[in-house]
Structure 1
Amino acid sequence: MNFGQQMLFFFSAVGAFNGLLLGIYLLFIKKQKYLPDFFLGLLLLMLSSRVGISVFMYFYPDLPRIIPHLGMSALFFTGPALYYYVKSSFQQDQFDWKNCQKSFGILTLVLGAVGLLYLFFPITWDHYFGTFIYTVWSIFVFLAAYQYYIFIKQNHKSPNNFVLPVLVSNVIIFLSYQLISTGWIQIYYCAGGSLVFSFVLYANFLILFNKKYQQLPVKEATKYSNKKISGEQADSFVSRLERLMSTEELYKNPNLKLSDLASRMNISAHQLSQLLNDNLGKSFATCINEYRINEACEKIENGSYLKIEEIGYEVGFNSKSTFFSTFKKIKNTTPLLYKQSQTLTEPGFHSSNL
């Protein structure tokens, strides 16, 4: 292998390794979970596995032929991962996670069924397996691009500004593999696709960090910070906030932070702070504590078997004193007096029972 080939495979291998690490980070390590990040991590993991196996097979061509087919199997899920990455980035909390799970389950069963053909018809399987994988990949790349077009046409906005670069990158990788596999581009198949993947991965890194570190001038930033969020957008954010609180009860986490909640709402911490302070007229702590106290009141009204202080811990307070003082501040009474008042108002209760 000459020097040019060595450099080609070096960059391909490094790109695959970095993509693999980033995919693992997004899927398993990143603390602030964000649904599009899950699909992006899956996408990177699958593509990196395919690229890594391709590079590995170049140096060890005598490995069992099932190894390259594992790489093709990984490639099978890149299309669906891209499609759901685009969809979840726009739909945010309206994204149908259960339906997505069903789709991936069906795809896994289909891949497993096709894989079983290898046991009975190995020659036929070798001939058509690649065609099957590329057909599925083609369908989902088209669906992802079409879905993006529909969302943009309907003026849907995504807080994730990385959607278009990821979509374009995957289209480039897809077209590169297709052109190389058909022989239109005369280059070693695995190396060519791997090199394109590495190039696109690093290009996206540059785009990401360039956007991250771009800042508004001081005067412009100050001018923006003085503006309230528009009524329509504020209503959307508030609806999203209430939905998260009612379905996932995030307020029960005693260590909940502004940045954590903002991440779950798919907005920036600045936007959430602005929404609470300017549009709702309350601080983050007050907002969360109101949800906690309302939950505590419901438990008291429903005759919870828990002690008063246990109710405080149950709804998210990390100390008895904080619970009592917050309850007094919001309800103008203590939890114990509130419980007694509820007992006095119960049907069938008479003063003679005292």
Structure 2
Amino acid sequence: MDAISYQRAADIGAALQAASQPGTMFIGGGTNLLDLMKGGVMRPMKLVDITHIDALNGITALPDGGLRVGALVRNSDCANHAWVRERYPLLSQALLAGASAQLRNMATVGGNLMQRTRCAYFYDTGFPQCNKRTPGSGCAAIDGHNRMHAILGASRQCIATNPSDMSVALAALDAVVRVSGPNGERTIAFAEFHRLPGERPDLDTTLQAGELITSVDLPPPLFAGHSKYLKVRDRASYAFALVSVAAALQMDGTTVKSARIALGGVAHKPWRADATERALVGKPLDRATLATAAALAVQGAQPQRENAFKVALAQRAIVRAVQQAGGVA
């Protein structure tokens, strides 16, 4: 690991001032960043420790009935918080599906949003071809092992997937990310926070230089009674999703009043299945409706040599998740 400098910030202002120096990164739980540093994938010159900033911690109620989750709230604390479990069970389920208990006890909400892709070629500096690590070098995954890679929204520059379970639930819940930076505070709709690779796969998010995530805001709860996070993976724990589905419904008897569907494991960002949502609204959760709605989610899919199975798997996972959310399975 390269020599680095370290500074502990006492407040948000001090953290932002320290981050104005080139080559500086914030560190919270460090569960992803330290791995990347040890592997030589990321080489910050300075780390700013934000773990002692009280303003970034805690879960508070918002006037509209929503919740504000501080960026430093640990994944395990968020998943097990009474308000989250009662009002946003989808988020709790997604958090508990991620990583291991030990990692959830260290990982933070803000850090979870900032996870880099788990593409093996990105992590292994022995492979020089990785546009995410070295822009313009190529993408080794396209002609390599790509079973875990994207089927939606990819480009010739990168076919990696976003690894976060939490983010899939937040996409379905229409969360908002609050940030502070050199130009003040701003909010980012969750759908706009993560990027598709396009020509710049090295840019994972729409954060600007020196910006710090301060919290995630959840809108008033609408789906507490009918939600399900379904994660399909190779083993029962400590494994990334082949496909995951966050399904949240409002039901009027047996008819869907409104729907939110997001997918993980299929794209460079949590993939919101808008067409599927529209196809469910006003319909009963019968077999024909579910099959039609699920097929819309993978329209335009471009699978790779080893991951064509994800197209069918995603549809089956959507059907199952929606059935469970709607209470018909």
What TM-score do the two structures reach when normalised by structure 2?
A: 0.22
Q: Determine which structure has more spread, i.e. the larger CA radius of gyration.
A: 1
The structure where helix makes up a greater share of residues is 1
The structure where strand makes up a greater share of residues is 2
